[in-house]
Amino acid sequence: MDIYAITGFSNTTTLTVNRIVNFIFKYQIASEDELENIFRSVDYALSPYKYQGGFVLLAEDNSSIIGSVVVNRTNMEGYVPKNLMVYFAADPNSAYPDIEKKLLKKAIQLTSGEIAYHASLNSPALELLEDVGFEKNFFEMRLKR
């Protein structure tokens, strides 16, 4: 198994981006977002522009994606966390049952500053996130339109 990061300065093809987006759509943990939103987040993470960016962390086994984390850099540190972990996904049928925890630890290692993750109050991801050091910090309210 290989775990590596892709950034806006990586030579990433459209085929690779589509593989990542489709994988996340199929295996996203604690989220049910649409393909378009996943694509936008991956695109933002892979942006080479100064006020965008972040990274996509991939775990592969025999050239097949078995896990992924998408982190967007917010450029808003000081009033919101510097990083937003938008998605994490793992194939539950992979030969690596602890892949989610390994990916989260690697994402933490690759970032500087705070990392936020938005999850519902009954999210199955909360325990895993707490295991790697995340704390329940804020309660968010939204006006949906």
Give the domain ranges of the chain: 2-131
User: What is the predicted pLDDT for the residue at 31?
Assistant: 73
User: What is the predicted pLDDT for the residue at 42?
Assistant: 96
* Mean predicted confidence (pLDDT) in 52-61: 95
- The span from the CA of 54 to the CA of 111, in Å, is 9
Question: Smallest Cα–Cα separation from 86: which of 131, 46, 119, 120?
Answer: 119
- The span from the CA of 126 to the CA of 47, in Å, is 29
* CATH superfamily, region 2-131: Gcn5-related N-acetyltransferase (GNAT) (3.40.630.30)
Per-residue tokens: 38: 């996943």
Q: Does residue 18 have a pLDDT over 80?
A: yes
Residues 74, 80, 82, 86: is their CA dihedral positive or negative?
Answer: negative
User: What is the predicted pLDDT for the residue at 85?
Assistant: 95
Structural contact between residues 12 and 46, judged by C-beta atoms closer than 8 angstroms: yes
Q: Does residue 10 have a pLDDT over 90?
A: no
User: What is the predicted pLDDT for the residue at 97?
Assistant: 85
More confident residue, 25 or 11: 25
Tell me the angle at which helices 35-45 and 14-27 cross, rounded to the nearest 10 degrees. Answer: 130
- The span from the CA of 141 to the CA of 36, in Å, is 23
| pLDDT tens digits along 77-128 | 889 899 999 999 999 999 998 999 999 999 999 999 999 998 888 888 888 9
Under 8 Å CB-to-CB from 88, ≥6 apart: which residues?
28, 29, 67, 68, 69, 70, 100, 103, 104, 107, 125
pLDDT-derived band at 53 (thresholds 50, 70, 90) equals: very high
Q: Does residue 139 have a pLDDT over 90?
A: no
The rounded mean pLDDT for the chain is 91
User: What is the predicted pLDDT for the residue at 106?
Assistant: 96
Q: How does DSSP assign 21-48, residue by residue?
A: HHHHHHHBSS----HHHHHHHHHHHT--
